[in-house]
């Protein structure tokens, strides 16, 4: 048997290693010139005016929501099929979460699920403050209706694009913020591009970008032109050593070392995209011919770069539980994972979400989903190996 295939992993080559070694030989290991370069090149890649890099995707979500000045009477809509951080970031900021139902086939928030959540918020007397649509697995949400409602209601729209770097959606490149206030990315090792750990927020609003940079670094301002004054009334107010803490911020900075890796990985992004698309196409062709396995095709007018090969399996028809299927695939050298347990089912959120209710689409998606191996360093023959193992296990 060939080597074990995990569901996802990083792709690191000599150019990445050389970039990090060069950064190690430089004068900067924490905040230095590679931070600004990575931000500039990332913004250009996705078509946004600004990119602000931070320590991880959760920090990016937290800071993006924090800029919206939320309170306990504000409610934010989050789809239930996502990682917990998409909802947790709202709780960090003291607001309420209403979970929206999703398409049981794709896991994406629907216009109907969004509208139902807005109506629920209105009925409870809370303010609809915003929504965080998730481009689950790299498949883009159509933001047309959601964006129009947000504009009309003066509510924010923050795209959780942690799975979707390189994806083209109905409103253009994900991250260009053509229909949103901000988009958030993750650079965890299994994502399309990695910085080891890391994240970013993109936006077209220069004031938002400045606020995000302030909040990621203790709320400290170092530009004398923006000082409020320390109150000494003399040169000690604005000496060359002076900095001002102007907000309650965090230490969410991404070091130069990580950004050096990010710059190197951006150069490889076209290849990452090409490989992921080729592997998904191979899977699609193989899955057409057999099995109780389904994979929805991409919507017309979109061009997703898939982070996850999250297929739907009729486990009841196969006569096996998901746990059995995963164990038997593992014994054949195939790693799988489940993305995700619906967040509205998590014990913490069962009692803390605003107006808990059944979300049948999210539950149906969870019951059938299984993530198969998908990462750039897979060989052209690996999808066939995975599908052959699936045939054996499900037959």
Q: What tokens were used for 187?
A: 């650079």
**pLDDT mean over 71-98:** 98
Q: What tokens were used for 306?
A: 């898939």
Rounded to the nearest 5°, which phi and psi values hold at 136? -60, 130
Name the nearest CA neighbour of 266 among 24, 6, 19: 19
The answer for residues whose C-beta is within 8 angstroms of residue 189's C-beta and 6 or more apart is 9, 10, 196
The pLDDT assigned to 6 comes to: 98
**pLDDT mean over 334-363:** 97
Q: What is the DSSP string of 8-24?
A: ------HHHHHHHHHHH
Query: pLDDT tens digits, residue range 215-245?
Result: 999 999 999 999 999 999 998 998 999 999 9
Cβ contact 306:280 at 8 Å? yes
**pLDDT mean over 351-359:** 96
Pairing of strands 74-79, 96-100: parallel
**CA-angle at 246, arms to 242 and 249, nearest 5°:** 110
Selecting among 191, 277, 288, 320, the annotated active-site residue is 191
Q: Is the pLDDT of residue 291 over 80?
A: no
- The b-or-e profile of 251-281 (16+ CB within 10 A means b, else e) is ebbbbbbbbbbbbbbbebbeebbebbeebbe
Query: pLDDT tens digits, residue range 4-57?
Result: 999 999 999 999 999 999 999 999 999 999 999 999 999 999 999 999 999 999
pLDDT level of residue 309 (50, 70, 90 thresholds): very high
The pLDDT assigned to 290 comes to: 66
Query: pLDDT tens digits, residue range 361-389?
Result: 999 999 999 999 999 999 999 999 999 99
Distance CA 364, CA 362 (A): 5
Q: Is the pLDDT of residue 1 over 60?
A: no
Alpha carbons within 13 angstroms on the beta-carbon side of residue 233 total 0
Q: Catalytic: 191?
A: yes
- CATH annotation of 14-217+252-394: 3.40.640.10
pLDDT level of residue 135 (50, 70, 90 thresholds): very high
Q: Is the pLDDT of residue 188 over 90?
A: yes
Distance CA 176, CA 98 (A): 26
The rounded percent of the chain whose pLDDT value lies above 70 is 99
290, 292, 298, 304: CA torsion to nearest 10: -90
């Amino acid at each position: 048997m060939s080597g074990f295939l995990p569901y996802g992993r990083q792709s690191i080559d000599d150019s990445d290693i050389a970039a990090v070694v060069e950064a190690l030989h430089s004068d900067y290991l924490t905040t230095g010139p590679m931070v600004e370069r990575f931000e500039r090149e990332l913004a250009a890649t996705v078509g946004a005016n600004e990119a602000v890099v931070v320590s991880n995707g959760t920090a990016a979500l937290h800071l993006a929501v924090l800029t919206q000045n939320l309170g306990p009477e504000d409610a934010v809509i989050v789809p239930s099929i996502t990682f917990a951080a998409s909802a947790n970031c709202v709780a960090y900021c003291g607001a309420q979460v209403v979970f929206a139902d999703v398409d049981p086939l794709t896991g994406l928030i629907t216009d109907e699920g969004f509208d139902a959540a807005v109506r629920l918020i209105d009925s409870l007397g809370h303010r609809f403050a915003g929504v965080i649509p998730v481009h689950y697995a790299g498949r883009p949400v159509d933001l047309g209706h959601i964006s129009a409602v947000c504009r009309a209601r003066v509510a924010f729209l923050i795209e959780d694009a942690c799975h979707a770097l390189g994806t083209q959606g109905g409103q253009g490149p994900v991250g260009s913020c053509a229909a949103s206030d901000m988009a958030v990315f993750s650079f965890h090792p299994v994502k399309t591009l990695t910085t080891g750990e890391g994240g970013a927020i993109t936006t077209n609003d220069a004031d938002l970008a400045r606020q995000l940079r302030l909040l990621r670094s203790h709320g400290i301002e170092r530009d004398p032109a923006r000082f409020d004054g320390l109150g000494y009334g003399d040169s000690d107010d604005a000496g060359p050593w002076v900095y001002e803490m102007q907000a309650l911020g965090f230490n969410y900075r991404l070091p130069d070392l990580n950004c050096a890796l990010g710059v190197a990985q951006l150069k490889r992004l076209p290849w990452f995209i090409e490989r992921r698309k080729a592997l998904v196409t191979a899977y699609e062709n193989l899955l057409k011919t057999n099995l109780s396995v389904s994979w929805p095709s991409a919507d017309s007018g979109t061009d997703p770069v898939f982070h996850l090969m999250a297929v739907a399996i009729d486990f009841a028809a196969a006569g096996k539980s998901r746990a059995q299927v995963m164990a038997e695939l593992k014994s054949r050298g195939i790693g799988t994972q489940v993305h995700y347990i619906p967040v509205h089912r998590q014990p913490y959120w069962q009692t803390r979400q605003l107006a808990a209710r059944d979300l049948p689409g999210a539950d149906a998606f969870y019951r059938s989903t299984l993530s198969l191996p998908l990462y750039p360093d897979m060989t052209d023959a690996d999808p066939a190996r995975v599908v052959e193992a699936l045939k054996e296990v499900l037959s």
